[in-house]
Amino acid sequence: MSAGVEPAGVAITERDTIGKIPPGKIAVWWFLASEIMVFGTLMGAYILFSFAHGDFAADGAHVKWRLGAFNTLVLVTSSLTMIMALASARARNLSRTRLFLLATVLLGITFLCVKGYEYTTEIDEGFTPSTSIFWSFYFGMTGLHGLHVIGGIVINSILLVAALSRKPWDILERRIECAGLYWHFVDVVWIFLFPLLYLT
Amino acid sequence: MNEAGGHLESARDDRTLYVIVWAILVLLLVVGLTIFVLPIPREAAVTLIFGVAAIKAALVLRNYMHLKREHLLIYAIVLIPTLFLLGFAITLIPDIVFRHAM
Amino acid sequence: MNTVTVDDHAAHHVSFVRRYLFSLDHKVIAKQYMLLSAAMAIIGGGSSYLIRWQLAWPETSIPGWGPIGPDNYNALITMHGTIMVFFVAMPLLLGAFGNFLIPLMVGAEDMAFPRLNATSFWTLFVASCVLVSSFFVPQGPAAAGWTSYAPLSDKAVYTGVTWGQDLWILAVALEFASFMMGGINFLVTALNLRTRGMRLMRLPLLVWMEMTAAVVFLLSVGPLVAGAVMLLLDRAAGTSFFQPDRGGDPLLWEHLFWFFGHPEVYVVALPGFGIMLEILPVFARKPIFGYRTIVYSTIAAGLLSFIVWAHHMFVSGMDPRLASPFSVTTIMISVPFAIIMFAMIATLWRGSISLASPMLFALGGIATFLIGGVTGIFLGSAATDIYLHGTYFVVAHFHYTLFPVVFFGGFAGLYFWFPKMFGRMMNETLGQIHFWISFFAFNGIFVPLFLVGIGGSPRRIYELSSYDMLKPLQPLHVVATVAGIALLLAQIPLIVNAFYSMVRGPIAGRNPWHANTLEWTVDSPPSHPNFTVPPRVYRDPYEYSIPGAAEDWMAQDAVAEADLRAAGR
């Protein structure tokens, strides 16, 4: 066993905990709290700037909302596959767990491909980060979000490998739950980012 | 850990719920896009679209991230940063919106 | 449920690399943080030597270095501030003391996430390398101040610095990542891994302080991470977030920076107080006065710290209507800190005070922080701040707050826990010499600087001889520099003491100070595992000189005869 998986020493139930929340889960939630501050700041700044500058709508007309909508569908579906992976892990169904994890990874990659296509066409059309303050926000926010998607894909791929190599179920289930929390958060950020950048 | 029988039953209910939530999310996406393309005043459209987004986020938080079953501490961990952000953004309104507009 | 049994640790043999380099043991990681902060302190302290010499004797060649010009000066003050806050204060007070003590004090074997712990240290190490490397790149290191205000920092043409500023952003971002990981580790460990009987209100105050610092850091760092991303994009990708001529707003940077920056100083200060609060009862042989009050004040201070930030921006051109509310909140936040100070003094009242080195440093910290806190009131009130902002008064104020908690608090902790960390006692005489010279030297630097500031001298200016009105203040700069050199030299006894005592000091037992908290119940240094049997806590941490007790101290896990009888055993 490895030293980093469990609190070394005594099992959780013997200690004074708060609400008996497993340590990994509460750690991820604290991390998400910090991430809420990061993305929330960017979104808040964008909203404030959009009130300050009247021309955001004009700039915003050039984003490809259909592709953005498709990407929203992709990410929302990947949230479903992620939670189904957890449900399958809870039901101890190995093949379904692997399947859903793989689906999540593939959907994540799809999202990135569509985003990449969007970026290249926009830059070809002459819209770069330096074009205007709107485009600064657009590239900045979707770029940062995209980096988080990449991180999520990496984590989920590692989980997929773990599922393929038959890690013990309770470890796998907890890790999928924690990774799922992160992945759902990335989805929630996009749920707000999409209307913010594409539909207003 | 639940007992084996009840565990499988509730697991199946869970999975059904997840799919239903997904269906609602897709529906709400369509609703949002519909509002977008409709020729209604911009302010109204924006408000409605954000309302839709908030509902979608709440659905994901509540059902996929299991917030409805979680301990108060986790609610606090989500709520407090959100409140801080709102306060921060509101404090910045005089500076960013009113005084430094181009 | 996976349980790791105690025997496994004893059985396996680890390589040198795993044991000392990439150790997962919180005690080793703590020492790594300590060593890193010491190394960075040499650079930070060295830069302060250069700054002070330049100010006292402008345009001369600095012994051991050479002349410095205005650009070099700006780079020096930037790096001095950045290194001291992010790479000395935080690694020492949070990384070193937090890591070493939290598991021991709560009765745990290790942090909740040992691998994350190691990762957080090595991330900081990489961040330090990135920052130090910026000294050697073309056009030199960042020179826009530790606050990196836009648009000065936003376009390379304004400072002349190219790579250095970008490396600064990267180093600070990595440091943030490191402490985000560490903060989460601290919180989960302190909340989830407390041993039986260690109720929240039985936690040593240092743990409360570290927890509050962790929460404050986690919730405040986000906006600056966003800001750092925006700044980097402005510099590297041509975005215009902070460029007013292209639709951006430089004031946004200031808001983002200080929304984090202010809570950050409390992230540094609270653990420093925690260290002092651990030491005072031990060397006064008295319980802490007002434990609960201190806890509630700490939480209040943590919360309030989020609504005071714009007091750094009174003259920035922000909306003047924000001045009054932020003045009010800033004055408010002095209240919980005053309460904590009063509680500390009340703890001392009528105690059996022993002025050993740890206690001297703790008391020195309290005394100097009082000056820092009081002078903060002048700066927190917008009316007086209009005159004092950007002057040496501010410099003296924040050194009178940061230095007490980092230097005096940090060394108090070092002298106090050195026996536990290394199994040997430090030399008391050298400790006294270290303290007294440092104490007088420190005051000798910054009292003159208060006067320089009140006299109207702006800060961050490399050479002030062209301002006639400031000429009468020049002797004050000389006094400050002489004191500064004395302060640097005063660290020699410490270095000698620390390294000598590590190998040749008298062997310390488990509990040389007769203190109550759980770390003193284990070996010095703690063996592996920390606790052969998970401890069971029966009492509060500061039960000293309890009437009727056999000794003047009672360990937290000690069961008194009366309690046993009462429990019917």
Using 50, 70 and 90 to split pLDDT, how confident is the model at C380?
very high
Q: Which residues of B touch A75 (CB under 8 A)?
A: none
C107-135 pLDDT, tens digit each: 999 999 999 999 999 999 999 999 999 99
Residue C384 burial by Cβ neighbours in a 10 Å radius (0-12, 13-18, 19+): middle
Q: What's the pLDDT at C563?
A: 62
In the predicted structure, residue B47 carries a pLDDT above the cut 90: no
**Is the pLDDT at C9 greater than 50, yes or no?**
no
Predicted confidence band of residue C532 (pLDDT cuts 50, 70, 90): confident
Locus of tokens 């309890």:
C546
pLDDT reported for residue C2 = 38
By mean pLDDT, which of B34-43, C414-423, C451-460 is the weakest? B34-43
What is residue C11's predicted lDDT score, i.e. its pLDDT?
45
The amino acid occupying position C255 is: H
- Per-residue pLDDT, B61: 87
Tokens representing A124 are 């070809």
Token digits of residue C410: 């940090």
What is the chain C residue with the closest CA to A55?
C247
Contacts of residue C338, Cβ cutoff 8 Å, sequence gap at least 6: C373
Q: Which residues of C touch A119 (CB under 8 A)?
A: none
Any residues with CB less than 8 A from the CB of A147 and at least 6 apart, and which?
none
What is the tens place of the pLDDT at every residue in C296-329?
Answer: 999 999 999 999 999 999 999 999 999 999 999 9
Per domain, the residue ranges of chain B are 1-69, 70-102
Amino acid A12: pLDDT: 42
- Predicted confidence at residue C279, as pLDDT, reads 97
What confidence category does residue C6 fall into, taking pLDDT thresholds of 50, 70 and 90? very low
Domain ranges of chain C: 26-568
Closest by Cβ to B53, choosing from A37, A41, A195 = A195
Are C362 and C431 in contact by the 8 Å Cβ rule? The answer is: no
C195-211 pLDDT, tens digit per residue, is 988 999 999 999 999 99
Q: What gap in Å lies between CA C560 and CA A116, rounded to an integer? A: 69
Say how many C-beta atoms besides its own lie within 10 A of residue C468's C-beta: 7
Q: Which chains have at least 3 CB atom pairs separated by less than 8 Å from chain C?
A: A, B
Please tell me which of the candidates A40, A57, A76 has its beta carbon nearest to residue B26. A76
8 Å CB contact between C200 and A19 = no
Question: Which of A18-22, C180-184, C337-341 shows the lowest mean pLDDT across its residues?
Answer: A18-22
Whole-number pLDDT of residue A19: 63
Question: Which single residue is written with the structure tokens 């714009």?
Answer: C310
C188 at interface of A, judged by CB pairs closer than 8 A: yes
CA distance C298 to C292: 10
> With an 8 Å Cβ cutoff, are A16 and C198 in contact?
yes
B8 band by pLDDT with thresholds 50, 70 and 90: low
Greater confidence, C488 or B1?
Answer: C488
Is the confidence at residue C378, as pLDDT, over 50? yes
Whether residue C194 is predicted with pLDDT greater than 50 in this model: the reply is: yes
Q: Which residues, 6+ apart, have CB-to-CB distance to A123 below 8 Å?
A: none
CA–CA gap between residue C257 and residue A178 (Å, rounded): 31
Q: Quick check: helix, strand or coil at residue A53?
A: coil
Which one of B35, B65, B70 makes the best mutation probe of the A interface by having the most chain A beta carbons within 10 Å? B65
A98 vs C15, more confident: A98
Question: C26-568: what fold?
Answer: Cytochrome C Oxidase; Chain A (1.20.210)
Dihedral of CA A9/A14/A16/A18: which sign?
Answer: positive
- In chain C, which residues have their Cβ closer than 8 Å to the Cβ of A129? 233, 237-239
CB neighbours of A61 closer than 8 A, spacing ≥ 6? none
Q: Smallest Cα–Cα separation from C90: which of C185, C186, C178?
A: C178
CA distance A82 to C14: 38
Say yes or no for a CB contact (<8 Å) between C319 and B87.
no
pTM attached to this predicted model: 0.93
**Best residue of C221, C243, C249, C299 to probe chain B, by most B CBs closer than 10 Å:** C249
Query: Any chain B CB within 8 A of the CB of C321?
Result: yes
Instruction: List pLDDT tens digits, range C21-61.
Output: 888 999 999 999 999 999 999 999 999 999 999 999 998 99
* Cβ separation A8–C109 shorter than 8 A: yes
CA B46, B47, B50, B56 dihedral sign is negative
Closest Cα to residue A118, out of A98, A134, A139? Answer: A139
- The answer to whether C112 and A27 are in contact (CB under 8 A) is yes
pLDDT tens, position by position, B32-45: 999 888 888 878 88
Cis ω before C151 (30° cut-off from 0): yes
Sign of the Cα pseudo-torsion (C304, C305, C307, C313, in order): positive
Number of B:C CB contacts under 8 A?
35
Q: Any chain B CB within 8 A of the CB of A84?
A: yes
Residue C242: which of A131, A56, A135, A136 has the closest Cα?
A: A136
- Residues A18 and C112: their CA atoms lie apart, in Å, by 14
Is the pLDDT confidence value at C569 over 70?
Answer: no
**Could you say which DSSP state residue C154 is in?**
T
Separation CA C506–CA C285 (nearest Å)? 24
- Res B102 pLDDT > 70: no
Residue of B nearest to C191 (CA): B73
Q: Does the distance separating the beta carbons of C322 and B94 come in below 8 Å?
A: yes
pLDDT at residue number A10: 43
- Each of the 200 residues of chain A gets a pLDDT tens digit; together they read 333 333 444 444 445 566 677 888 999 999 999 999 999 999 999 999 988 887 787 888 889 999 999 999 999 999 999 999 999 999 989 999 999 999 999 999 999 999 999 999 999 999 999 999 999 999 999 999 999 999 999 999 999 998 888 778 888 999 999 999 999 999 999 999 999 999 87
**Cβ contact (<8 Å) for A30 and C112?**
no
Alpha-carbon distance of A32 to A152, in angstroms, equals 13
Which subunits sit against B, judged by 3+ Cβ pairs under 8 A? Answer: A, C
Cα–Cα dist B5/B9, whole Å: 6
Tracing tokens 């565990």 back to the chain, one arrives at: B7
Chain-chain contact of B88 with C247 (C-beta, under 8 angstroms): no
Q: Which tokens belong to A35?
A: 């991430």
Alpha-carbon span A151 to A177, nearest angstrom? 16
Contacts of B88 in chain A (CB under 8 A): 41, 44
Residue in chain C nearest A17 by alpha carbon: C192
Contact present, A101 and A163 (Cβ < 8 Å): yes
CA distance B83 to chain C (A): 11
**CA dist list (Å): C373 to C306, C312, C341:** 18, 15, 10
pLDDT in tens, A5-42: 334 444 444 455 666 778 889 999 999 999 999 999 99
Tokens of A92: 């101890």
Overall average pLDDT of the C242-248 stretch: 91
Q: Hey, which residues does C240 pair with through a beta bridge?
A: none
Backbone angles phi, psi at C538, to 5 degrees: -115, -20
What single string gives the DSSP state of each residue in chain A? --TTTS-SSS-GGGSB-STT--HHHHHHHHHHHHHHHHHHHHHHHHHHHHHH-TTHHHHHTTS-HHHHHHHHHHHHHHHHHHHHHHHHHHTT-HHHHHHHHHHHHHHHHHHHHHHHHHHHHHHHTT--TTS-HHHHHHHHHHHHHHHHHHHHHHHHHHHHHHHHTT--HHHHHHHHHHHHHHHHHHHHHHHHHHHHHH--
Average the pLDDT over B66-86 and give the result. Answer: 87
